[in-house]
Structure 1
């Protein structure tokens, strides 16, 4: 008796062509997601900076109403948290300040403050992503003088 030849079982798997098609499809999907998500993130960063500046602007106005003057450029926005350097005004400063803590702009830099301002009574602004004055797009300055 001769042994019967055993049937070779086909192993289940993917061919190289099938894997390449799947990789191309995944690449196209990733490209679509990146194209649609990145501009939204950029817009969100600009909107966060604008909202922070509006909040700081309100705190500076409240400071002026209670302290009878704007913080100096030297005291900066820090005066909203820790009070003015002038000891005569320090007695009027509320114990919890005008803002709990100073936010950083979306790019990790502190917000800038000028009094008197170049664009209004006072200026609160961020220098954008590049951290330098001027620029376009994400590098553009964002300030309280913009509508």
Structure 2
């Protein structure tokens, strides 16, 4: 009786080892690139906060031109969206002075701090830690 010879036919595809090697290489690349990418994202949040503060400062200047002064601290930034009812109510209010129906929050979800005596103002973003002070990304940002 003749013996049958079995031929092993390899199916096309990748072996487990080949796939594992690719995964290890991809993990290595991610470990090298990831931190740089996340630091750029954090830096972009600082830039975004600075831009929002410049937009708020511009809206405050428009308010001042119409009303001969800035909103008081008591009236706050809300005076840019709706006519104030607290303190000295402006007679020439021509707002809203912002395009949105709500005040913007900083990139970390906090509110911008606003102080004013009517003749000058200070805008502040508390940074990523949302507390006064800090260093690096947690550093407070002031309008300039």
Same fold (TM over 0.5): yes
User: TM-score, structure 1 length as denominator?
Assistant: 0.83
User: TM-score, structure 2 length as denominator?
Assistant: 0.84
Q: Which runs of 5+ in 1 are unaligned?
A: none
Tell me the equivalent position of 1:30. 30
Report how far residue 125 of structure 1 moved.
1.2
The answer (yes or no) to whether the contact 1:113–1:122 under 8 Å persists in 2 is yes
Matched, 1:139 2:138: yes
Report how far residue 100 of structure 1 moved.
2.2
Tell me the equivalent position of 1:43. 43
Aligned pairs for 1:69-84 within 5 A: 69-84=69-84
Q: C-alpha deviations, 1:43-97, integer Å up to 9, x for none?
A: 1110110011011111112211211121111110000111222587444111x41
| Distance of aligned partners of 1:18 and 1:88 in 2 relative to their CA distance in 1, 3 Å threshold | closer
Report how far residue 121 of structure 1 moved.
2.7
Deviates more, 1:28-37 or 1:79-88: 79-88
Deviates more, 1:34-43 or 1:2-11: 2-11
Q: Which runs of 5+ in 2 are unaligned?
A: none
The answer (yes or no) to whether the contact 1:67–1:89 under 8 Å persists in 2 is no
SS of corresponding position for 1:82: coil
SS of corresponding position for 2:52: helix
